[in-house]
Amino acid sequence: MMKQLFLLLCLAPCVASAQWTAVSTPSSINGPMAAPNDSTVFYANGAKTIYVSHNAGATWNYFETEYEYEFIEDVDFINDSVGFACGGGWFSPHRNVVLRTTNAGQSWETLTRDSVGNLQFLFSEVDFVSIDSGMVAQSYGNDVYRTVDGGISWQQIVYDSTQLNQTISDLHFVNSSLGFLTTIVSSGTMNKARIYRTTDFGNTWQSVREWDYPGGYYSIHFVNDRVGYVGGNQGVLCKTTDGGVTWSESKIPPGNAISAVWFTDEQTGYSNALGVICKTTDGGANWFPQMMMGPNIVSAIQMTPSGTSGFLIANNILYKTTNGGGITHIWQPELQEKISIYPNPSRGISYLQYDVVIKVQQLQLVDATGKVIKHFPHDATKLSFPEVAPGVYFLRIKTEQGTLSKKITVQ
C-alpha cells in the first residue's frame, strides 16, 4: 500500500553556510539508503515500511510490506525504476528476504524468503547488474548466492573455501563480469581480511589483497572498470587503477574506520575518513571536511549520477547536497588569526601574509564547489590570478600546523 506524507519541519535546523542540509523525513533513519537520481531517494526502517521521495525530500511516500519484525539491510537500484532490497530477521518469522520494485518504489514484491541460504542468518548485501542478474551475501553466514533469472532460482557461490571465519562486509559489481567482495576478521584469528575479485560474474574469485592490521575492509566503490577505492579500518584507503589487479594503500589521519566511500570521478570523492563528511579532489591524496549542520558522524554516502547531488546519513538523519557539498571547510581559529589576505576583494592580485612560525606546505585556489582552480608555489606571498572570472573563491592553505580556507572575492 503506497501512502503519501507531507512534512513541514526539518528534523534538525540548518544554517546558511551548511552545504549538506538536513532533510525532513517521516522518521529517524536506522536502515540503508539509496539515491538513483538527483530527485529520488529511498530509505528503510525495519522491513515493514520502505520510504521514497521523488522530489529530494520535499514530500514522502511509503510502501508497507508484510514483514512486521524483519529488517532491511541493503538496497540497490540499477536504474530509476528497478531496485532490490535484502534482509530478514534473527528472531522473526522470516529470514533471507529479497525484495524487488520495478515501479520506482510504488510497490515491492518478494523474490525469495526462507528458502535460500543458511537460515540462521539474514542477507546483508545485495548488488544487481540487471533486472534478472544479481547476487546477495550473508555477512555472518559467509555465503554468496547468485540469480540470473530474476530470483526464480539461486546458486550458491564459493568465493574462498579456505577462509571460514571471515565476515563479508561489502559486495560491488562494476559491470556484468567484474565484481569485488570485501571481508573483515575478528582480532585474534589466524585469518586475514581480503579483497576478492571476479571477472566472470562470480564463477571464480581471486584474493587480490590481504589485510595487514587487526580489522578489515568495509566499503567498495568503483568509478569505472579501471579506478576503484576500498575503505578499511584504521584510516586505510586502498586504490586501484588497473581494474583491481593491484592496489596501493594510504592511511588517512586520525585513523578512523572508513565505512562509507563514494567517488563521482577519478579525482573527486567523498568519505567518512574524518568521521564527518569529507571530500577529496585529487584522487584521495588529501581530504578536507565539508560544512554540515552538526557536525555528525557519517554512516552512509551516496552521490547521484550527476556527480553534484547526493545524500548521506549521519546520526540517523538524512542530509542532501545539490552542489557537491560546496566548499571544503576547515576552521582553525588559531591559524585564522595568524594568516591574512589583502586586498580582498581582489582584482586578480592579492598578497598573503602570515606569522614566521607558520610553515606553508600547499596553496590552492578553489571555487565554491571545491574544484581546484589554480595551484601556487607553497612559499608564494604574491598571488596572481588575473585569468580567474569574478566570483567567490577560497584559498586553501595547508600548513604543518593544520589546514584552513580563506574566503576571497574576485572582482
pTM given for the model: 0.79
135: cell is: 547476487
Would 306 be classed as within a structural domain?
A: yes
Which DSSP helix (H) or strand (E) runs through 334?
helix 333-336
On whether both 352 and 253 belong to a single domain, the answer is: no
CATH number at residue 220: 2.130.10.10
pLDDT for the residue 402: 72
* The pLDDT of residue 163: 73
Same domain flag for 119 and 183: yes
CA triplet 237, 399, 342: central angle to 5 degrees? 130
248 neighbors 232 (Cβ within 8 angstroms)? no
| pLDDT given for residue 189 in this prediction | 59
Assigned domain for 327 exists: no
Tell me which residue range forms the domain holding 155: 2-9+16-321
Chain centroid, CA 347 distance in Å:
39
DSSP 309-322: -EEEEETTEEEEES
pLDDT in tens, 330-375: 555 677 788 999 999 999 999 999 988 888 998 989 876 667 889 9
Q: Are residues 231 and 113 located together in one domain of the fold?
A: yes
Q: Are residues 182 and 141 in the same domain?
A: yes
CA atoms within 13 A on the CB side of 362: 14
* Same structural domain, 32 and 119: yes
**73 — phi, psi (to 5°)?**
-100, -30
Q: How many domains does the chain have?
A: 2
Q: Are residues 284 and 386 in the same domain?
A: no
A 10 A CB-CB count for 207 gives: 16
In this prediction, residues 158-182 reach a mean pLDDT of 91
Q: In what order do the strands lie in the sheet with 59-64?
A: 2-6, 59-64, 49-53, 41-45, 33-34
Lowest-pLDDT choice from 40-49, 98-107, 131-140, 212-221: 212-221
Would you state the pLDDT for residue 12?
33
Q: Is residue 316 located within the same domain as residue 354? A: no
Average predicted confidence (pLDDT) for the chain = 88
Same domain (yes/no): 395, 346: yes
Question: In sequence order, what DSSP letters do the residues of 9-44 get, joined into one string?
Answer: S-SS---TT-SBEEPP-SS---S-EE-SSSS-EEEE
Is 328 domain-assigned? no
Over range 260-285, report the average pLDDT. 93
Last residue of a domain, one of 321, 349, 372: 321
Cis peptide before 333 (omega within 30 of 0): no
The CATH number of residue 350's host domain is 2.60.40.3080
- Residues paired with 77 in a beta bridge: 83
Reported residue count of the chain is: 411
pLDDT at residue number 327 = 60
Q: Is residue 288 part of a domain?
A: yes
Answer whether residue 19 shows pLDDT above 90. Answer: no
Position 401 pLDDT exceeds 80: no
pLDDT at 282 over 50: yes
How many other C-beta atoms are found inside a 10 Å radius of the C-beta of residue 206? Answer: 14
What 3-state class would DSSP assign to 233?
helix
pLDDT of residue 120 exceeding 80, the answer is no
Q: What is the mean pLDDT of residues 269-285?
A: 91
Instruction: Report pLDDT digits (tens) over 127-137.
Output: 999 999 999 99
Q: Which of 321, 343, 364 is the last residue of a domain?
A: 321
Is there a single domain that holds both residue 118 and residue 234?
yes
Q: Is the pLDDT of residue 299 over 70?
A: yes
Q: Residue 10 — very low, low, confident or very high, per pLDDT cuts 50/70/90?
A: very low
